[in-house]
Amino acid sequence: MQKHLEVAIKAVQTASEICRKIQAQLVAEDAMTKKDRSPVTVADFASQAVICRMLNEAFPQTPIVAEEDAQSLRNEENRDILEKIQQFLPGWSIDQILERIDLGNGEPADEFWTLDPIDGTKGFLRKDQYAVALALIRNGEPVLGALGCPNLAFSEHDQNGTLMFSVKGEGTFTSSLGKNGRQKVTVSSNAPHEIVRFLESVEAAHSDHSLQAELMRHFGGRAKSVRFDSQVKYAVLARGDAEVYLRLPNPQKPDYREKIWDHAAGVIIVREAGGIVTDMFGKELKFCHGKKLTANRGIVVTNGKLHEQIITLLNR
C-alpha cells in the first residue's frame, strides 16, 4: 500500500496548503449555503478538485466518495465562486474544475476512497480548526487514513500545522505539515483514576452535550473539557493530548446518522495509535452501508483504557 500512502499524503498536503492560502484571504461573501444550511467555501471545492484529480490519475479504477459535488457551481449566480476557485488553481479551466470536483460522486464499493475536503467548515470560516480528511476503505473497513490539520500546531516550537497518517497494521505517524520527516504517535496512557480529557465539538448541534456533561460528572474533578472543530479531535487524541471523544446522538435529530467521510480517516488514525473506536453500544463501526454509518448510533473514541467504562456509563 506504499503507493496509496504516498499519493494520499501528497494530495492532503497539497490541498491543505491551498486551503491555508484561501483561509488567509477569505471574506464572508466567499461562502455559499447548501440546502442543509451548512456553509460551503471556495476551499471546499478547490480542495476536492485537487485531491480527486491526484487520486484519479494514480488510481483511475478506484471510486471516490466525497462530500461535495459541482451542481451548485453550475448555477450562474455562483459564477463568482467558481472564478475565485480558479484563482487558487492556476492553469485549470472552468470545465476541469467542475469535472474534477465531480470525480467525488462515486459510490461505495469493495474498495474506494472517501474524502471530506474540509471537515469543519464552520471552524474554517472562523479562522479556527479544520481538517482535510482522506481514507481508503476496503471491504467496509478503513485501511489507510490521512489528516491535514493546517491550524493544529505540530509542536510548541513549530506552528506550521500537523499532518497525521496511518496504514492498517503499521501504526500512526505525524509530521509538520509540508515538511519531511515523521514520528510515531501513540494515545495517552491515562487510566480512569487519572485526569480524563474529553474532546467536545465547538458546534453544539453536532452532539448531545448534555449527556456528555452528565457522563463527565462521573469523573468529578478529573474530567477536563477540550474543544476542537472537526476530525482534528481524532488527531489530538491519537497523539495523546486527550483521552475521550464522544459523538452522541442529538435527541432533536433522532434519524441522523453519521457520514462516512466525517470519521473514516480519524478512525484508523486513532486505532493505529493504540486507541479504540466503536459506536455508543460498543459495536464496531461498519463502513459498508453506503455513505452513512446506518448500522451504528453515536461514536465513542478513547485511548482504550477508558473504553469499557465509558460504554457502561452510556448504557446504564
Residues whose CB falls within 8 Å of the CB of residue 29, separated by 6 or more in sequence, listed in order: none
> What confidence category does residue 37 fall into, taking pLDDT thresholds of 50, 70 and 90?
low
Share of the chain above pLDDT 90, in %: 79
Domains, the chain, ranges and CATH? 2-185 (3.30.540.10), 196-314 (3.40.190.80)
SS3 70: coil
pLDDT at 31 (0 to 100): 75
pLDDT at 8 (0 to 100): 98
Averaged pLDDT for residues 120-148: 95
User: Nearest-CA neighbor of 263 among 151, 160, 145, 156?
Assistant: 145
> Comparing 173 with 229, which gets the higher pLDDT?
173
Summarize pLDDT for 252-310 with one digit per residue, the tens: 888 899 999 999 999 999 999 999 999 999 999 999 999 999 999 999 999 999 999 99
Contact 89, 43 (CB under 8 A): no
**Single-letter residue type at 199:** L
**Single-letter residue type at 169:** G
pLDDT at 30 (0 to 100): 76
Phi, psi of 240 (to 5 degrees): 90, 15
**Single-letter residue type at 109:** A
* Angle (CA) 86 89 90, round 5°: 90
> What confidence category does residue 26 fall into, taking pLDDT thresholds of 50, 70 and 90?
confident
Residue 225 to residues 209, 222, 235, 240, 244: CA-CA distances in angstroms?
A: 11, 10, 16, 15, 10
For the beta carbon of residue 99, count every other beta carbon within 10 angstroms.
16
Paired with 137 in beta bridges are: 112, 142
Contact 4, 154 (CB under 8 A): no
pTM here is 0.95
Summarize pLDDT for 87-107 with one digit per residue, the tens: 999 999 999 999 999 999 999
**Single-letter residue type at 255:** D
Summarize pLDDT for 169-194 with one digit per residue, the tens: 999 999 999 788 899 999 999 999 99
Averaged pLDDT for residues 41-64: 97
pLDDT above 80 for 28: no
Averaged pLDDT for residues 207-218: 83
pLDDT at 202 (0 to 100): 74
For the beta carbon of residue 76, count every other beta carbon within 10 angstroms.
7
d(CA 18, CA 178): 12
Averaged pLDDT for residues 8-22: 96
Averaged pLDDT for residues 202-214: 71
Task: Name the residues annotated as catalytic.
Answer: 44, 121
pLDDT above 80 for 29: no
pLDDT at 167 (0 to 100): 98
* Cell numbers at 164, concatenated: 497525521
pLDDT above 70 for 203: no
